[in-house]
Amino acid sequence: MQGGSRRRAFTLIELLVVIAIIGILVSILITVGASVQKSAGAVATKGLMQTLDTGLQSFRTERQLGGLYPPSHTDNMRPGQPDAPLHMANPMSDQLGRPVFVAGANLLVYAMVGADQLGTAGFLDRNKDGTWFDDIHAVPGPPEGPHGAYALDVDTAEPLNSRYPSRGTTYVDDQSRERIRSLQRLIDESTVLQWDARPAGEGAGQQLSFTDNWGRPVLYYRANPAGRVMLTDPNAAGSAGVYDSRDNALFTGSTTLGLLGTDFGTGFPSTHGGKQYASRMAGDVYPELKPTLTGGVNEIETDNNYDDSFARYIHDKSVTNQNRPVNPNTYLLISAGPDAVYGTLDDVVNWERGE
């Protein structure tokens, strides 16, 4: 009688089945992990936006700053120059005559923490010429002023103008301040980021933005409640819209300005007129705020001219009898989400998106 029992070995087929099962389980875990990471990123970015909401309300209640939400473009409106609202004095420079291009995302930082993060100097007309875009610099004036908004005392390094809420105090918490990055830093930290620097001017790379959980700028657009059309058309005199699609053209691109925008590593996803743009809301089409629409059908949702347009992206789908943007009395905050492309379904925003 033969002693002991033999162990039965795995057959090749059984081994392959086990390997296949392990592979399926690993792929499920990777998918679940990616989904959890994506959801966590969206939650964290929403948290940042809620902090910015609170800060923006506080800024608005500061009477000495004008009682308004901060601007998302400059008040530089030179006739015949559609890119003028992007031009302003450079707050990082102690020399005049060196303008810089800015985005609404940059002006949001100026409002919440100040360009130098010592507290905001606001957007005030310090030289009394009717505009503030030429006052946002760091040049000290004569002893009696006016000083540039961000001028510091050469001996004490103290601000020569009032800061709000106070010197060194900001409208957001320290955790949100840690999300601030310059475009140049984002470029340095990335191997894939490319941006259209042609019109940007000296110092644009040093301008700061709040970044989402994926390291991309949070865009800011202030609404103009008195806007008589949906979007400002720079080519039509007197066309003051509720929103201006140019406000963040350095990041989104703009067909009107011919700016391609900033590619955060996904390739250029939108094509207009033979050019490739960095976001899916670069298309500048200017719908009117029509009193009624024929048959209640809103052409923004059905007309191909509005494909990949800012107008379609911010169109309030709950309003069926006129072209109306979301948040027409406040502002928009927009994160590109995990796919790094502004204007797609995974964007994190401060309104309820209708599909």
The predicted model gives 7-23 an average pLDDT of 78
pLDDT range class, residue 191, cuts 50, 70, 90: confident
pLDDT range class, residue 199, cuts 50, 70, 90: low
Helix/strand/coil percent split, the chain, to 5: 30, 15, 55
Sign of CA dihedral 161, 167, 173, 175: positive
What global pTM score does this model have? 0.88
The predicted model gives 29-54 an average pLDDT of 81
The predicted model gives 276-299 an average pLDDT of 83
Contacts of 300 by beta carbon, 8 Å cutoff, 6+ apart: 287, 306, 311, 312, 315, 323
pLDDT of residue 201: 65
More confident call, 192 vs 144:
192
Residue for token pair 């948290």:
47
Q: What is d(CA 354, CA 312) in angstroms, rounded to the nearest whole number?
A: 11
pLDDT of residue 40: 79
pLDDT of residue 38: 57
pLDDT of residue 154: 87
Nearest Cα residue to 237 out of 225, 229, 247, 248: 229
Q: What is the DSSP letter of 110?
A: H
Q: What is d(CA 222, CA 329) in angstroms, rounded to the nearest whole number?
A: 9
Nearest Cα residue to 109 out of 126, 97, 92: 92
pLDDT range class, residue 34, cuts 50, 70, 90: low
Contact 82, 234 (CB under 8 A): yes
Residue for token pair 């010592």:
118
7: β partners:
none
Cα dist from 299 to 27, 255, 344, whole Å? 43, 20, 20
pLDDT range class, residue 32, cuts 50, 70, 90: low
| Percent share of the chain, pLDDT over 70 | 92
pLDDT of residue 15: 80
User: pLDDT digit string (tens) for 99-115?
Assistant: 889 999 999 999 999 99
pLDDT range class, residue 116, cuts 50, 70, 90: very high
pLDDT of residue 35: 60
pLDDT at 5 > cutoff 60: no
Sign of CA dihedral 349, 257, 86, 227: negative
Q: What is d(CA 285, CA 240) in angstroms, rounded to the nearest whole number?
A: 14
pLDDT at 335 > cutoff 70: yes
Cα dist from 295 to 285, 307, 335, whole Å? 22, 21, 34
The predicted model gives 51-67 an average pLDDT of 95
